[in-house]
Chains A and B, each alone.
Chain A
Amino acid sequence: MYKGARVETIVSISWETLLDGVKKGNVRSLARIITLVENREPGWKDAMKSLYPLGGKAKIVGITGSPGAGKSTLTNAVARDFVARGYTVGIIAVDPSSPFSGGALLGDRLRMRDVVTLPEIFIRSMATRGALGGLCQGARDIARILDAFGKDVVIIETVGVGQDEVEVVKAADLVMVVCVPGQGDGIQALKAGIMEIADLYVVNKADREGADEVVADIGGMLDISDNGGRPQPPVIKTSALANQGITELVDALVQGFESGRNADSWQAQRVKEEILTLVETEILDYLRENWERTGDLDKAVEGILEKQTDPYSVVDSLLPLIREASRSKETT
Chain B
Amino acid sequence: MNNKKIRVLIAKPGLDGHERGARIIAYGLRDAGFEVIYTGLRQSPEQIVSAALQEDVDVIGLSILSGAHLSLTKKVVDQLKSNDAEDILLVVGGVVPEQDVASLKEMGVAGVFTAGTSVSQVAQFISEQVNA
Contacts and interface: CB of A to CB of B under 8 A. Distances in A.
A293 interface: no
B32 A31 contact: no
B5 A123 contact: no
B21 interface: no
B19 to A, nearest CB: 11
Contact of B40 (A1, A9, A28, A110): A110
A27 B52 CA distance: 11
A224 interface: no
B4 A39 contact: yes
Given A28-B53, A113-B47, A7 B33 contact: no
A122 interface: yes
A40 B1 contact: yes
B37 A125 contact: yes
Interface string B89-128: 1100000000000000000101000000000000000000
A102 B90 CA distance: 23
Nearest to A130: B3
B132 A7 contact: yes
* Interface size grouping (class) on chain A: 35 or more
Contacts of B75: none
Nearest to B1: A285
B15 interface: no
Nearest to A110: B40
A307 interface: no
A4 to B, nearest CB: 4
- Main SS at interface, chain B: mixed
A103 B4 contact: no
Given A31-B53, A35-B56, A122-B54, A106 B2 contact: no
Contacts of B39: 109-110, 116
Interface string A11-33: 00000000000000001100110
B87 A9 contact: yes
Contact of B58 (A3, A6, A34, A127): A6
B47 A116 contact: yes
Contacts of B1: 40, 285, 288-289
Contacts of B7: 35
A106 B35 contact: yes
B84 A28 contact: yes
A6 B84 CA distance: 12
Given A2-B110, A6-B88, A105-B27, A127 B4 contact: no
Closest 10 CB pairs of A and B: A31-B56, A103-B30, A110-B40, A5-B87, A103-B33, A105-B30, A4-B132, A35-B56, A6-B87, A101-B33
19 contacts: A5-B86, A6-B89, A27-B54, A28-B56, A39-B2, A39-B3, A39-B4, A41-B4, A98-B30, A102-B5, A102-B33, A103-B35, A105-B36, A113-B47, A117-B47, A117-B50, A122-B54, A123-B54, A129-B3
Given A41-B2, A116-B39, 10 more contacts: A31-B55, A35-B7, A35-B56, A103-B36, A109-B40, A113-B40, A113-B47, A123-B51, A127-B35, A285-B1
Interface of A: 1-7, 9, 27-28, 31-32, 34-35, 39-42, 97-98, 100-107, 109-110, 113, 116-117, 122-125, 127, 129, 285, 288-289
